[in-house]
Amino acid sequence: MKIPYYPGCTLKTTAKPFEDTTKAVSEAVGIELIEMPRWNCCGTVYSLASDDLMHQLAPIRNLIRVQDMGYDRVTTLCSMCYNTLEQANQLVKSDPEKLEKMNSFMDQEEDYTGGVTVVHYLTVLKEMGFDSLPVKNPLKGLTVVPYYGCLLLRPEEISIDNPERPTVMAELLTSLGATVVDYPYKLECCGSYHTVNHKEVVCEKTYHILSSARKRGAEAVVLSCPLCEFNLDFRQKDLEQELAPMPILYFSQLLAISLGLFDALEFDQHYVDPKPLLKEKGLLR
Amino acid sequence: MIPKISKETTLLEKAEELSGEKIFSCHKCGKCSAGCPVGTLMDVRPHQVIELVQANDWNVLESKTIWLCASCFQCATRCPKDVDLTRVMEALRLLVLRENVDHIRISEISKEDLKELPPVALVSNFRKYTG
């Protein structure tokens, strides 16, 4: 299956391991990711004000590029990109007047026709069927929790799963052989961009989320958002409370391990090194 | 901070216009405050923000709450009356930001933080905290 891929800023920088492992996994399972030859920032947060069309231009421009490529779907990895692109998409699809205004403003591009759908990579995998994944190195003995955070699930209109009771990541991880436990904080916001100038907010959230996961027996937290990853991982060094280090992993890293794609793995960009745990479980080559 | 626009319109009218929400639909069940992930850190609880807007009290713009809200959409998902408080919070922030009053001094971010923070953190912060 061929599908255009929108990377976004962070997948090319601090979340490079997320992209690298996803590319390797895609190749192994027969998903041909076609990286968009031209893309710009999605805006990172969806503009909520009814009079603000200016900030909808960036996401819609990206969808025009997908349209130019001749495709009607585009996939992303970052939860924030997914959310911003698809919310803007749904706005213009439901409001032809706003779409017309934006199309006439963007005079160097073709008009956007509203024919593109943004699909998160987890959904692409789910459509293929998690059972069809060629697992060679099952994650036996590894107990994990999924962390969805906000933007894969809310608002409801763009949710990749049931917004209050999501199961997609648990299903994926179970099919990779991991033991998945439940805990009450899987939907809770990590504090997001407060990490820049209100670290204490993110520390409070990080502590609650991780200590709850630990109490339920989790040895690692698995997620899909580069900002959640940074917050739950790097803010562990700023915690006032005692908390044993908790490795934070992208779902694609565990996918790569379970499919035996060891060359794609790189853990240098994590604060809490996941390697000791993965080695202890005999999961690394 | 009471914005200049207060001379031309009421807070309720402006907040409804910017958010597109019907603020008097709220029947004060408190579900938004109960589920808010940063509710315990707020000086004005989410459902009280709605009350202050209903009462046309411009002082709500002085609250820490409107900046603590990180647009996680939890309240919006759970509201039984379909009032999207996430949009109301954004409207209140914009009333301040559109007076050219930013909520972050970018020059005060340390070099260490700038080196470590992912681009997505910086861009989203500046999008929410600067006009």
Residues 80..109 of A with a Cβ closer than 8 Å to B: which?
Answer: 80
Q: Give B18→chain A minimum CA distance, Å.
A: 5
Helices (H), B2-61: 11-19, 31-35, 46-54
- Does pLDDT of A191 surpass 90? yes
- Does pLDDT of B2 surpass 90? no
Helices (H), A41-185: 57-69, 79-94, 96-105, 121-128, 168-175
Q: What angle do CA B116, A220, B122 make, to 5 degrees?
A: 25
Confidence of residue A48 (pLDDT cuts 50, 70, 90): very high
Say what the pTM is: 0.97
Q: What's the pLDDT at B88?
A: 98
Q: What's the pLDDT at B65?
A: 98
Confidence of residue A123 (pLDDT cuts 50, 70, 90): very high
pLDDT tens readout for residues B5-42:
999 999 999 999 999 999 999 999 999 999 999 999 99
Inter-chain residue contact A204 with B41, CB threshold 8 Å: yes
Across the interface, of B73, B90, B117, the residue whose CB is closest to A154 is: B73
pLDDT tens readout for residues B59-92:
999 999 999 999 999 999 999 999 999 999 999 9
ipTM entry: 0.96
- Does pLDDT of B1 surpass 80? no
Q: Does B66 touch chain A (CB under 8 A)?
A: no
Q: What's the pLDDT at A285?
A: 85
Across the interface, of A41, A46, A195, the residue whose CB is closest to B121 is: A195
Order across the sheet with A2-5: list the strands. A32-35, A2-5, A73-76, A117-120
- Does pLDDT of A140 surpass 90? yes
Confidence of residue A65 (pLDDT cuts 50, 70, 90): very high
Q: What's the pLDDT at A256?
A: 98
Structural domains of chain A, ranges and CATH numbers in brackets: 2-123 (1.20.1050.140), 130-280 (3.40.50.11810)
- Does pLDDT of A237 surpass 90? yes
- Does pLDDT of A131 surpass 90? yes
What's the whole-number average pLDDT of chain A?
98
Q: Is B71 exposed, middle or buried (0-12, 13-18, 19+ CB in 10 A)?
A: buried
Is the bond leading into A59 cis (omega within 30 degrees of zero)?
A: no
Domain ranges of chain B: 4-100
Inter-chain residue contact A195 with B86, CB threshold 8 Å: no
pLDDT tens readout for residues A8-43:
999 999 999 999 999 999 999 999 999 999 999 999
pLDDT tens readout for residues A210-236:
999 999 999 999 999 999 999 999 999
Across the interface, of B20, B71, B104, the residue whose CB is closest to A45 is: B71
Across the interface, of B17, B76, B119, the residue whose CB is closest to A13 is: B119
Query: 1.10.1060.10, 3.10.20.30, 3.40.50.2000, 1.20.1560.10: which CATH number matches B4-100?
Result: 1.10.1060.10
Inter-chain residue contact B118 with A150, CB threshold 8 Å: no
Q: Give B109→chain A minimum CA distance, Å.
A: 7
Please list, in sequence order, all residues whose beta carbon lies within 8 angstroms of the beta carbon of residue A279, skipping any fewer than 6 positions away.
none
Inter-chain residue contact B77 with A201, CB threshold 8 Å: no
Label the pairing between strands A143-146 and A248-250: unpaired
When pLDDT is averaged across residues A96-110 and rounded to a whole number, the result is 96
- β partners of residue A248: A221
Q: What's the pLDDT at B107?
A: 95
- Does pLDDT of A156 surpass 80? yes
Q: What's the pLDDT at A115?
A: 98
The single residue listed with the structure tokens 């779902």 is: A251
User: How many DSSP H helices and E strands does chain A contain?
Assistant: 11, 8
